[in-house]
Amino acid sequence: MILIVDDKPENLFSLKTILERHSFKVDTALSGEEALKKVLRQTYSLIILDVQMPDMDGFEVAEALVGSSRSKQTPILFLSAVNTDKKFITKGFDSGAVDYITKPVDPDILILRVRTFYRLYEQSAALNDAHQQLKAAHTELHLTLNSIPQIAFTATPDGQLDFVNQFWYQYSTSPISFPDTPENEPSLEEIWQAALTKGNFYEQKVRIRKLTNQAYRFHLFRVTPVKENNTLIKWTGVFVDIHDQHEINELLEEKIKERTKELVEANKSLEESNADLQQFASIASHDLKEPLRKIHLFGSLMKEQLADKDKIEKYLSKILYASDRMNRLVNDVLSFSRLSEIDRFVHTDLNQIAQEVLVDLELMIQEKEAQIHLDPLPHIEAIPGLIRQVFQNMISNALKFAKEDQTPVLHIHCQQVSTLQADSPESNNGAFYRLVFSDNGIGFEEKYTQRIFSLFQRLNAQSQYEGTGIGLSIAKKIVEKHHGLITAHSQPGEGANFIVVLPATQQQ
């Protein structure tokens, strides 16, 4: 609506008629006082103001209108038939007018100017409304970001921070600087530039430093672009604290790894036990029954030949040998089966173990006139009773498989090595010890190396060399229980080297 202010009714009538003819809504006032009262009740798009009026002239009314917050944006158009001098026109503009027209007025020129100022006012009002709505939206957004219990911020389309909420200052002292990340991890400025370059929703797990305790906490950094009509107008970002959840997840993952490792080891142990059991079952039917068959056979023959004392003595010798072999087999099988039991590793002196074994085998060593050369041996974490059995099997084998025409010689060497390998290089700080039992016995072909460590496996005739075929299997299982390895190198007639590698300490 347009307000026309003039103290002459005829002027009001003519101007109102011209404007209404061009579809403008018009209101009128006969004085400056009446105009000011109407402005307080009604908003106008344009005020056409006469300069020469009694009581309050147009300049005074214009100054009052411009000084009022309600009408200061309303354009004022001065009309004057008397004050046409340049100084009055200048005063009109100084009073706040947007234009100054002298009478008589050309109706077409008046309508053009009125339409222009009317359109400008409407556009200005629309822009002001949009600005107020945007301001309200920003205020609402800031209130919302301040209410969430996480770090939040907004930024301009080019990435400049323009708002941070209250939680921001727990991690940064400046509203324009991102929180610090660890030195060996990308900075938030680099991550922020990556998000800006992508131009879409961005998410990354980061660690940022809290100012109160200088501790780094895990957060989920999320950036979202705000677009209007497919045009980017703002960025919003949040840091979601996931530190506690991250630690719980890591703890669960560690527990799962530990449990999985335990299950794998248990499954491996079960598979090995099953394999040993299957191997034992397939062989026991022959090896364990063979002495029984002989006892039964020669017992029957004795019954039939009671009159022949020579034959009875021969048969009794075979029965005694078979029963003795049966006894050794049963003892070895029991020893092998007990290796699955849980024993405690203790600090063990291998020198003492070796000397005890040599004392036990003293008669056999003297009988064969064997020479035993023993290097100084280390102290390791071991199960003494089981390691003693390894030494006993290794030394007794060297004596058992000696050449008939040659004095048995056994060297027990010891070297500290760096890795769990038979050919590992020597190392003064190595975590393992390599024991080499070198003899000058009958030896064997290396293609049978794996076979000699299997249950009940023999490379020589039972009649020529005593044994049950379990000794090396027991030694292998004991060494593996100590998390070590055992192998052998040999050639027929050139002796054998049995290599045992054991860790110095056992990992709990």
Task: Evaluate whether residue 54 is within a structural domain.
Answer: yes
Closest Cα to residue 355, out of 383, 369, 374, 370? Answer: 374
Is residue 82 domain-shared with residue 170, that is, in the same domain? no
Q: Could you give phi then psi for residue 198, rounded to 5 degrees? A: -65, -40
Final residue before a domain boundary, out of 223, 241, 259? 241
Q: Which residues of 82-94 are buried (b: 16+ CB within 10 A; e: fewer)?
A: ebeeeebbebbee
pLDDT in tens, the chain (508 residues): 888 888 888 888 888 888 888 888 889 888 888 888 888 888 888 888 887 787 788 788 888 888 777 777 788 887 776 655 666 667 766 676 777 777 777 788 778 888 887 788 777 777 777 677 767 766 776 777 777 778 889 899 999 998 888 889 999 989 889 999 998 899 999 999 999 988 889 999 999 999 989 999 999 999 999 888 888 988 989 999 998 888 888 888 888 888 888 888 888 877 776 666 655 555 555 555 566 666 667 767 766 666 666 677 777 777 666 666 566 556 555 555 555 545 678 899 999 989 988 987 888 888 889 999 999 999 999 988 888 889 988 998 888 888 888 899 999 999 999 999 999 999 999 999 999 999 998 888 888 777 777 644 444 444 444 444 577 888 888 899 899 999 989 888 888 999 999 999 987 5
- CATH number, domain of 51, equals 3.40.50.2300
Six-digit token string for 319: 């029965």
Q: List CB contacts of 449: < 8 A, sequence separation 6 or more.
A: 487, 488, 489, 490
Task: Evaluate whether residue 107 is within a structural domain.
Answer: yes
Six-digit token string for 225: 């672009």
Domain total of the chain: 3
The pLDDT value given to residue 463: 42
Q: How far is CA 57 from CA 6, 81, 92, 399, 501, in A?
A: 10, 13, 11, 137, 116
Domain that holds residue 386: 343-508
Is residue 404 domain-shared with residue 478, that is, in the same domain? yes
CB-CB contact of 142 with 163 (8 Å): yes
Task: Evaluate whether residue 171 is within a structural domain.
Answer: yes
Closest Cα to residue 245, out of 188, 205, 208, 210? Answer: 205
Q: Which residues of 255-284 are buried (b: 16+ CB within 10 A; e: fewer)?
A: eeeeeeeeeeeeeeeeeeeeebeeebeebe
CB-CB contact of 243 with 207 (8 Å): no
Final residue before a domain boundary, out of 191, 208, 241? 241
Is residue 372 domain-shared with residue 458, that is, in the same domain? yes
Task: Evaluate whether residue 181 is within a structural domain.
Answer: yes
* CA pair distance 192, 201, nearest whole angstrom: 12
- CATH number, domain of 200, equals 3.30.450.20
Is residue 425 domain-shared with residue 506, that is, in the same domain? yes
Is residue 121 domain-shared with residue 156, that is, in the same domain? no
The pLDDT value given to residue 467: 45
CB-CB contact of 58 with 80 (8 Å): yes
Is residue 104 domain-shared with residue 208, that is, in the same domain? no
Task: Evaluate whether residue 284 is within a structural domain.
Answer: no
Is residue 353 domain-shared with residue 459, that is, in the same domain? yes
Closest Cα to residue 28, out of 116, 42, 469? Answer: 42
Number of neighbouring beta carbons within 10 Å of residue 12: 19
Is residue 114 domain-shared with residue 158, that is, in the same domain? no
Is residue 367 domain-shared with residue 458, that is, in the same domain? yes
Question: pTM of the full predicted structure?
Answer: 0.39
Is residue 112 domain-shared with residue 160, that is, in the same domain? no
Task: Evaluate whether residue 137 is within a structural domain.
Answer: no
Final residue before a domain boundary, out of 219, 241, 263? 241
E strands, 194-274, in order? 202-209, 216-228, 231-241
The 3-state DSSP class for residue 56 equals coil
E strands, 57-132, in order? 76-80, 99-102
Is residue 500 domain-shared with residue 371, that is, in the same domain? yes
Is residue 352 domain-shared with residue 384, that is, in the same domain? yes
The pLDDT value given to residue 459: 44
Task: Evaluate whether residue 272 is within a structural domain.
Answer: no
Task: Evaluate whether residue 140 is within a structural domain.
Answer: no
The pLDDT value given to residue 462: 43
Q: List CB contacts of 191: < 8 A, sequence separation 6 or more.
A: 204, 206, 221
Six-digit token string for 63: 């100054």
Closest Cα to residue 51, out of 109, 110, 93? Answer: 93
- CATH number, domain of 372, equals 3.30.565.10
Q: Helix %, strand %, coil % for the chain, to 5?
A: 50, 20, 30
Angle between helices 384-400 and 471-481 (to 10 degrees): 150
